[in-house]
């Protein structure tokens, strides 16, 4: 092997597919030098990408709303076939098809031992936690590519038990790398259980995944709020109630019309820091969703916040928001005894169980998020369409392996 093609950020609103070196069983220079680790990685594996997805988190970078440098490789939602392993890899083999958690984790540090793989201490010198192809996340090459290197492979890879079954269900299984566990994490940490009424803010792929996860967890009513009519129709397609936040009707009134009271048992923020206010023509107001979910959640509720919030946003509406300081009504949440769960989803906490749901036809996540296959060369157009609000989850098929 002599090369590798990967999707690269080229400036605000622009991505391209470029050729880079074929991956080696080595740690990125940022990680090895910054953490004083050996560069050689006999614990790693190289995967041939079967599928890799475009994520809303990638879109934040491509919009120029992070500090990502031009040339940043992209892609953290990875499913692939093992084609090479280091000498210390014992439990995955060539030919295995595996899901890769977007969190890179060593499996050896205190955080990993506590199950907090989203904040591993040994994969990023800048902060706890790392991810493939993401700004400030350790310099790991992205997975919107033909090939990718996965460190600590025995710990990070989730092997599918049957290759033929995996390929048959690949559009569902590809969601295990991020959005299905992330949506599930949002619903689970919001306390969704049998009979719950649930509000999910945002009908993008993570919001739709959270809504489907709430159904799996036994919610009696799942309400999805958004301003995009096509995305609201997608939420309705698998049994969700919806509210249109582009109207001037209050969110409380719209919820009351559905469940008979202006509050819900649990709420999920699947929007993050690029939130907008309510009503026609509303501008960006990054604390909107956080304040909404406190307003419409009952006293004592839990709030799941898988939506991304950043510490550096050069395109923010004010100086406070540029450093992630938002006008959150914390006093309201305190008065209502709310609890909050934020941060990266620890994918390994959920991915095996969710895999079993998919393999046994108990979850239809591809249908819920409208999984749509594209080629690697079509990735730039996929980003453009996703940025326009397409009600689709774009799944890149670099090698034509998806039926």
Residue-level pLDDT at 1: 57
- On the CB side of 206, CA atoms within 13 Å amount to 29
Under 8 Å between Cβ of 129 and 69: no
**CB neighbours of residue 228 within 10 Å:** 19
8-state DSSP, 60: H
CATH code of domain 4-178+346-396:
3.90.180.10
Q: Which residues contact 213 (CB under 8 A, 6 or more apart)?
A: 180, 183, 184, 186, 187, 188, 192
Q: Which residues belong to CATH 3.90.180.10 in the chain?
A: 4-178+346-396
Under 8 Å between Cβ of 174 and 395: yes
Residue-level pLDDT at 190: 98
**Alpha carbon distance 343, 338 (integer Å):** 17
Which residues are paired to 158 by β-bridges?
A: 99
Q: Which residues belong to CATH 3.40.50.720 in the chain?
A: 180-341
Under 8 Å between Cβ of 52 and 77: yes
- On the CB side of 325, CA atoms within 13 Å amount to 5
- On the CB side of 263, CA atoms within 13 Å amount to 12
- On the CB side of 277, CA atoms within 13 Å amount to 10
| pLDDT tens digit at each of 403 positions of the chain | 579 999 999 999 999 999 999 999 999 999 999 999 999 999 999 999 999 999 999 999 999 999 999 999 999 999 999 999 999 999 999 999 999 999 999 999 999 999 999 999 999 999 999 999 999 999 999 999 999 999 999 999 999 999 999 999 999 999 999 999 999 999 999 999 999 999 999 999 999 999 999 999 999 999 999 999 999 999 999 999 999 999 999 999 999 999 999 999 999 999 999 999 998 888 999 999 999 999 999 999 999 999 999 999 999 999 999 999 999 999 999 999 999 999 999 999 999 999 999 999 999 999 999 999 999 999 999 999 999 999 999 999 999 999 8
Instruction: Give CA separation, 265 vs 202, 203, 226, 389, 390, in Å.
Output: 17, 19, 19, 29, 30
Helix spans in 17-173 (H): 29-34, 56-62, 110-113, 153-156, 163-168, 170-173
Residue-level pLDDT at 280: 83
8-state DSSP, 139: S
Architecture category of domain 180-341 in CATH: 3-Layer(aba) Sandwich (3.40)
Give the global pTM. Answer: 0.97
DSSP string of 362-393? S--HHHHHTEEEE-STTHHHHHHHHHTT-S-E
Nearest CA among 48, 73, 64, 67 for reference residue 140: 73
**Alpha carbon distance 164, 160 (integer Å):** 10
| Secondary structure (3-state) at 13 | coil
Under 8 Å between Cβ of 98 and 158: yes
| Secondary structure (3-state) at 82 | strand
Which residues are paired to 147 by β-bridges?
A: 48
Query: Residue 218, Cα to own-chain centre: how many angstroms?
Result: 22
- On the CB side of 268, CA atoms within 13 Å amount to 36
């Amino acid at each position: 092997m002599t090369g590798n093609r990967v999707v690269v950020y080229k400036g605000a609103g622009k991505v391209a597919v470029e050729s880079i070196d074929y991956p080696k069983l080595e740690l990125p220079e940022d990680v090895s030098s910054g953490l004083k680790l050996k560069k050689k990685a006999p614990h790693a594996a190289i995967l041939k990408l079967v599928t890799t997805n475009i994520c809303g988190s990638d879109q934040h970078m491509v919009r120029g709303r992070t500090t990502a440098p031009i040339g940043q490789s992209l892609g953290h939602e990875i499913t692939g076939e093992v084609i090479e392993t280091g000498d210390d890899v014992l439990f995955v083999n060539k030919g295995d098809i595996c899901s890769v958690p977007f969190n890179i984790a060593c499996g050896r540090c205190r955080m990993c031992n506590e199950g907090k793989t989203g904040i591993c201490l040994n994969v990023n010198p800048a902060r706890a936690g790392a991810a493939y192809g993401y700004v400030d996340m350790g310099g790991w090459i992205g997975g919107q590519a033909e090939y990718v290197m996965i460190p600590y492979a025995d710990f990070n890879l989730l092997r599918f038990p049957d290759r033929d079954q995996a390929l048959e269900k690949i559009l569902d299984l590809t969601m295990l790398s991020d959005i299905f566990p992330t949506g599930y994490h949002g619903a689970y940490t919001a306390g969704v259980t049998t009979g719950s009424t649930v509000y999910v803010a945002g009908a993008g792929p993570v919001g739709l995944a959270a809504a489907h996860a709430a159904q799996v967890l036994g919610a009696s009513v799942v309400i999805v709020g958004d301003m995009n009519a096509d995305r609201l129709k997608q939420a309705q397609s698998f049994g969700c109630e919806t509210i249109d936040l582009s109207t001037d009707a209050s969110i409380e009134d719209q919820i009351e019309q559905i469940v008979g009271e202006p509050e819900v048992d649990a709420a999920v923020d699947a929007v993050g820091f690029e939130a907008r206010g309510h009503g026609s023509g509303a501008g960006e107001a990054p604390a909107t969703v956080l304040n909404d979910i406190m307003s419409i959640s009952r006293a004592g509720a839990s709030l799941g916040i898988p939506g991304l919030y950043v510490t550096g946003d050069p395109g923010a509406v004010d100086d406070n928001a540029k450093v992630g300081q938002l006008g959150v009504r914390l006093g309201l949440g305190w008065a209502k005894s709310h609890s909050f769960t934020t941060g990266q989803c620890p994918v390994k906490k959920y991915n095996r169980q969710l895999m079993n749901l998919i393999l046994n036809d108990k979850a239809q996540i591809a249908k819920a998020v409208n999984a749509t296959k594209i080629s690697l060369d079509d990735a730039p157009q996929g980003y453009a369409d996703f940025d326009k609000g397409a009600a689709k989850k774009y799944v890149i098929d670099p090698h034509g392996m998806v039926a």
